[in-house]
Amino acid sequence: MHSELVGKAGGGKVRASSYSVKSAVLAHLGGSGKHSHMPQPVLIAAELKNLLGPADLADLDITWLSADQPTPKGDYVAIVPLLSRWVGGTEFKNLPALIIVANCAVGYDNVDVVAAELRGVIVTNTPDVLTDATADLTWALILACARRVIEGVDVIRSGTWTGWHPQQLLGLELRGKTLGIFGAGRIGQAVGRRALGFGMKIRYASRTPKPDFERETGATRLELGPLLHESDVVTLHTPSTPETKGVINSDTLARMRAGAILVNTARGDLVHEEALAIALEEGRLGAAGLDVYTDEPAIHPRLRAAPRTVLLPHIGSATRETRRRMAAIALANVRAVLAGQPPLTPVYRP
Q: Annotated catalytic, 267?
A: yes
Annotated catalytic residue, options 186, 284, 302, 314: 314
Annotated catalytic residue, options 15, 296, 304, 321: 296
Q: Packing angle between helix 149-158 and helix 131-146, nearest 10 degrees?
A: 60
Spatial neighbors of 242 by CB under 8 A, at least 6 apart, are none
Q: Running DSSP on this structure, what letter comes out for residue 298? A: B
Beta 13-17 vs 3-7: how paired, if at all?
antiparallel
Q: Annotated catalytic, 148?
A: no
Dihedral angle over CA of 250, 255, 258, 259, nearest 10: -70
**Cα dist. 219→108, 205, 223 in Å?**
29, 10, 13
Kindly report the backbone phi and psi dihedral angles of residue 214, in degrees, each rounded to the nearest multiple of 5, phi listed first.
Answer: -65, -45
| Positive or negative torsion for Cα 100, 101, 104, 105 | negative
Annotated catalytic residue, options 267, 272, 323, 325: 267
Q: Annotated catalytic, 28?
A: no
Q: What is the DSSP string of 171-225?
A: ----TT-EEEEE--SHHHHHHHHHHGGGT-EEEEE-SS--HHHHHHH--EE--HH
- Residues forming the active site: 267, 296, 314
